[in-house]
Structures are given as C-alpha cells and as structure tokens.
Structure 1
Amino acid sequence: MQIAYTVKEVREQVKAWRKEGLSVGLVPTMGYLHEGHASLIKKAVEDNDRVVTSIFVNPTQFAPTEDLEAYPRDMEKDSKLCETLGVDLIFHPEPEEMYAPDFCTWVDMDVLSKTLCGKSRPIHFRGVCTVVSKLFHIVTPDRAYFGQKDAQQLAIIRRMVRDLNMDIEIVGCPIVREEDGLAKSSRNTYLNEEERKAALILSQSIFLGQKMVQEGETDAAKIKAAMVEKIQSEPLARIDYVEIVDGLSMQPVDTVQSPTLAAIAVYIGKTRLIDNFIV
C-alpha cells in the first residue's frame, strides 16, 4: 500500500493503473476510521481493481465555531486498517496541498443544501461539494463510496454528479451501527459514559419512526411528533432538527412514500450526532 501526500503522486499512480486497464474506486474520508468506513472500503475493494482512500480533515466544511481542531485523528491506526482491508493508495494531503493561499473557487448548490444540516451549518455543504469535486478530479475514479448515515450529503453528491455531468458512479452504503444501535461515528469518541448511554435516544427514535411506517402510518407529522417526543424524554438530548423530507429534493413532505428520508440531528451534551432512515 502506498501513501501519497501530493496531487501529483496520486495522478501519476492512477495514470499507471489506467494504462493497465484497471478500474479505480474512491472512498473519501476525514479519517479516524471505524467499521462504517470499513464497510465502504470493503465494497470498493469488491467492485474495483484498485482502491484509493482519501484521509483529509477538510477545513472548508467547518465553521469557525465548529470542531476542526478537536476532530479526532489517528493516521497510524487508519493506515493499518486500510492496508488490512486491501486499500492500494491512501491520499493524505495537507490543507495547503488542497487549497492555495488565494483559493477562491467553490462548488455550491441550491435547494438540497438549505434544509436539515444546511440550516444550522450554512457553509458546510459548499465545503463538502468543493472538496469532493476536487477529489473526483484528482483521482478520476470509476466509482465513489459514501455512507447512508450522511444521507443529505449522499443526495447532494449524487445531484452534483448529475448536474455537472461527472462520469462517476456514486455508491451509497448502509448505516453501520454499534451492537446497541448507535450509528457509528468518529464523533462518538467525544461522549463520556453518561452521554454515550443518552445517545441511544437517537437510534431509538429512528427505530420508532421505522416501526410506525412499517405498521402503515404515512402521516409525516404524526411520525415526526412521535420521534420528537421520544428524543425529548432524554434529559441530555437537545434537538437540532427532526425532519421528514423527500429523499431526492430534501424538501419537507406531508405524506410518507418512496423515496422519503426521516433525518435527525441531536446534541448530546456538546456533541452533535445525526441518524436517519429511508423509506
């Protein structure tokens, strides 16, 4: 396994693979890899001849008040996991490699990025779209892999690829959960023991909403109200949002039908966690 720190190194390696007629998969990450990331990498290894995993904590998707400096990092552990899983190349650039001092070109999106996480994190998806677009241009993958836990991000990237005519297949992979139901997240490491127990309220509300849909409930307001009531039963939980939206446009819906996304963002203490389910 190779670790590349520059755009030039990545492009040279990918060109060599292309000359051999090999397919390339990309798994973009911010590192501190867990079983959720591992599931993306395994799928990419299964689908492609060569796999690139990017490990880059992207500064442009963090607001000044967010946890850029505190975001967990462990490159040694990440490298070992990637090698074990069959990754061929890790792209691990410094911010200066990705963003020139006078950088001023952005990839932005209307509509899909204004709801859910976009309401409380208004610059977030501009940063996501820009860095993912750059990674696509650098690696030129046949396929790129993203987790369903970040459902809004996945929808936005799919729309960006469609709108900008990028010749890349976007593969969404299911949420990976802890044994007790909590969705895997690098930010789970921020939680103390009491908060970790309290965080189960997210998955419990998600499972409640799913159960209501499975039992035939289609009134989005009723499902949302039940999920809100469940979350509010936990004293350490503070709701950012509970929304039921169209799975393609990210706009609110009154009736649950395919495709519908039920998504939540909840603060447990100071830690903001997200979860969702899709109909």
Structure 2
Amino acid sequence: MGEPTEEEARDAADRYRAPALDKGLDILEVLSLQGRGLTRTEIVKELGLGPSQIYRMLERLVARGYVTRIEGGDRYALTMKLYLLGTRFPPLRRLVAQAQPLMDDFARATRQSCHLVVPEQGVGIIVAQASPTGHWEFRARIGGQVDLFSTGSGLTLLAFQDPGRVLETLGAWGVGAAGARLAEVAPRLAAVRERGARVEPSGQLVGVTDLSVPVLGPGREAIAVLTCAYIEHPDEEGGESRDRALSELARVAAGLSAPGGR
C-alpha cells in the first residue's frame, strides 16, 4: 500500500473533527508561544474565533488547571500541567532519569554540553540537557524542537530506522508523505549509518560541530539521539579533542541503549 496523498490525509482528518476540542487545543498552542500570556481579546484576534467561544473554552481550561489568569486576571498563560503530564509518561521519564547523570558526567569530562532528543509530533524534542561546570555554558533548551530532515539529531534518528518500514515509523511520529524528503537525504543517511554517528558542521550555528549518536532500542532502531554541539577550546587540539568527545558520547549512548540494540 502506497503513501496516502495529501488530499486523502486531509479528508481523513476532516472526517474525525471535534470542533470544541480543536478550539481548546488551538488556545493551548497559541499560549505556548507567549511567555507573558495573552488577554482574551488578543486570543480572539490570534485565532479568529468569536469572543463567546473563546470565553467558554478558556474557563474550562482554567478550571482544569491547564491555563491560569495572571496580572490581576486580565491575561491568560499556560500552567505547568502539560509539562508535568508529558514527563509523567513512564518510558520517557525512565529514559531521562537514566540519561541525566551519564550526560552530566560527559559534560564535566569533556567540557562540552550535550542534549537528548526523541521524536514526537513530526519533530525531534529536546527532553534532557547537560552543561559543563565552568563559568560559561552553551546549551540547547529543554522542550525545544529540531527538524528531522536538516539537523544532526534529526538525521541520526532517521538514519537508524529500518528502511523497510521507515515511512510507517515516520507516520507514527506524525510525519506524513515523507517519501520525497527521505529520498533527498538518503545519501546523508547512508553515510551516518556507515559511520555509526554523524559528525558535521552545525547547520544552525557557525563554528559548532554537531556530534550525534543514536540510542538504540531492542530492534537496533534509534529511539533517541544524543547530540553534542562541539565547540573547540583554545587550549585543546581540535581533532583529538573532538574524537575523544565523540567516543565519550558513544559510550553514554551505548549505556542507554537496550541490550539487543548495542
């Protein structure tokens, strides 16, 4: 069976619409982009919905603890409830709990930061991060999103999937109609698989080299990726220091991988 066309995917989505739920999710998504929250009028303007519809939905979200009133009740902002729900998910919680001390050790030993990325809703999500203990740090933001097809973490996740079911896997991650995009990056994915890691200049920051290694599940498919945004220190020889950091990162990933995936 081939991939569904964009029109078929759109028809399937329309068939199972729940307008009230959509409105509530739209409110949560727009508030997630605003550190200081929004007034009800601003939310109405952002979503293009009627004030009465927004009012009822906001009151329910406040009552359920997902949204709170701030600044005297004139503005609405997200609470921590969504974050707490996300971190309560047992497999993710176990992975982060196991990874954090190993990542902290890596950061201290190499004087480099690192972060852990898992696939979710069509992107990679940063779920853990560790920084060196010096007086400065360079780090990725927990909760930040990375593109699967253009970042070191994303390409490494894709590289270590079963080629025979990668489209099905991407569909489960929330990526639809990905055949053409996979074909575009196929040579890069093959190079990552052959090396067992990805070592390339960052596509987002000048002077940074992305070191990415997979965390493998029982079927030897990547369930997460560890990435170090490697920065050369003036008192170190670049190539040797980078190789050491890559070796340490691979050791951490092996410790997090399932026995059958190492």
TM-score (norm 2): 0.29
Bigger proportion of residues as helix: 2
TM-score (norm 1): 0.28
Query: 1 or 2 for the larger relative contact order (CA 8 Å, sep ≥6)?
Result: 1
